[in-house]
A = this chain, B = another copy of it.
């Protein structure tokens, strides 16, 4: 028989790129295994995974919210409430009982769109947040935001002449999914000089360019708060973006998974696109994505999230339902995680004080760390770093000398990937080079998370490495 080769596979697969878990992350895992050997000859004693927003990862310090996990433990084994009657707070027991009555066993498939009762809670959360109605029938629970984004992109793209507008830099899920489904990436650049702001004009230019190339733009992706940039949109820009979608008949895909990660709340607040669309009574079809993986929840491993469709016809909602039904249902552990996120304990509930303390701490730690890290990175020669008001990341720009660029090319790497590889080899810190997110020609960046404890030691290592790199290759 002919062996199965890469050439015999779907050619789109080879086009897919996802740097967040790419070459560097794979090498970091190899180092992690190597460190378990006493005679490992490595110049560091631990691997620090700053490549991915994974708050509960080993070695990081964001603990799960106790309320969420207590409810989940009771859902796993409901008899526990009777067997260990004094262990669980009363509101936890009541919540688990309420969910059990609605769901039955979490070992059963639920409604493919997600448990109706939990979708009602999500709708209430959205109404409370925005002050506008939300319909549980327009909400789809998902296995994390990625699953929803991937589904919507696969439905919107008609290969090979349709495309989606993607911010640069972007979270590479978007380009990876477009590559898989033969959609065209229509890039628009965010402006680093003004804190990674979004320019309506640059999007409009990208739309016009697509038209001249015979590509139909189907949707506009906005990541707010930004990833990797951490930037927050102001409401007036959001209104303009909605009008732009009206003008060009674009679906607005609003990735709002970092809406609860706000580090400068006094100056930078979050406004949902749902609110802007409702307020302006816009007819723009909007899909807004949220997730339990980020925010104070940080429950990445549960795989939970939702998307809400606004201005979608019943016919199209039925098509989305059909597509999710083929995958049966999102994980119940993720669905109950969504319930805990949108219905946290209230003042007066037995769990409230602990919940408040836990979530306040998470916010405070992340704020302080983001500020400290951006200040110290900014102080380094050849580094400039926007002080992110949101999300979990920094995205510093690094100037790389001609000799560094030559060394990189000699090694067959992009210059920023070369920098990141040397950083990993020398310090055990794993970041993602800017080439994985997109950047202007001749600029170099990397993304790192603000989740690592011991900020002094951590940034100290980055500083030492950077100074050594400049010594080796010049400024």
A58 at the B interface (CB under 8 A): yes
Indicate whether A249 reaches chain B with its CB closer than 8 angstroms: yes
From A327, which residue of chain B is reached at the shortest CB distance?
A: B146
Task: Please state if B284 and A10 are interface contacts (CB–CB under 8 Å).
Answer: no
Give the number of copies in the complex: 2
Q: How many residues of A contact B (CB 8 A)?
A: 98
A284 to chain B, nearest CB (A): 7
Q: Which of chain B's residues have a CB closer than 8 A to the CB of A300?
A: 107-109, 328-329
Verify B57–A108 contact, CB threshold 8 A.
yes
Q: Pick out which of these stretches binds chain B: A39-47, A69-77, A266-274, A454-462.
A: A69-77
- List of B residues within 8 angstroms of A10 by Cβ: 154-159, 181
Tell which of B73, B251, B326 touches A80, judged by Cβ atoms closer than 8 Å.
B73
> What chain B residues lie within 8 Å of A302 (beta carbons)?
106-107, 331-333
Provided the pairs A1-B245, A83-B84 are in contact, do residues A106 and B316 lie with their beta carbons within 8 angstroms? no
Interface residues of A in 195-210 (CB under 8 A from B): none
Minimum CB distance partner of A159 in chain B: B10
- Contacts A5-B313, A84-B83, A150-B327 given; does A301 touch B332 at CB 8 Å: yes
Q: Interface with B: A14-22, A386-394, A413-421, A440-448, which one?
A: A14-22
Tell me the complex Cα distance, A195–B299, Å.
47
- Tell me the bound Cα distance from A355 to B77 in angstroms: 15
Q: Which of A123-131, A172-180, A367-375 contacts B (4 or more CB under 8 A)?
A: A172-180
Of the candidates B9, B29, B73, B87, the one whose C-beta lies within 8 Å of that of A156 is B9
The residue on B at minimum CB distance from A85 is B84
Contacts of A105 in B (CB 8 A): 56-58, 63-64, 301
Interface flags for A7-37 (1: CB within 8 Å of B; 0: not) read 0111101101010111000000100000000
State how many angstroms separate the Cβ of A101 from the closest Cβ of chain B. 10
Question: In the bound complex, how far is the Cα of B173 from the Cα of A42, in angstroms?
Answer: 48
Closest to A65 in B: B107
Q: Which residues of A in the span 220-257 have a Cβ within 8 Å of any Cβ on B?
A: 245-249, 251
Residues of chain B contacted by A475 (CB below 8 angstroms): none
Q: CB within 8 A of A104: which of B6, B57, B112?
A: B57
Q: How far is the CB of A79 from chain B (nearest CB, A)?
A: 9
CB of A288 within 8 A of chain B?
no
CA–CA, A150 and B63, complex, Å: 34
Residues of A bordering B, CB below 8 Å: 1-6, 8-11, 13-14, 16, 18, 20-22, 29, 52, 54-58, 63-64, 66, 69-70, 72-74, 76-77, 80, 83-84, 87, 104-112, 143-144, 146-147, 150, 154-159, 173, 176-177, 180-181, 218, 245-249, 251, 283-285, 293, 298-303, 311-313, 315-316, 319, 322-323, 325-334
Those 10 A-B pairs whose CB atoms lie nearest each other, nearest first: A84-B84, A333-B333, A301-B332, A21-B325, A58-B104, A331-B331, A56-B105, A56-B107, A73-B76, A56-B108
| Interface pairs (10), CB distance under 8 Å | A1-B283, A2-B249, A10-B159, A10-B181, A13-B155, A21-B112, A66-B77, A109-B300, A110-B301, A331-B333
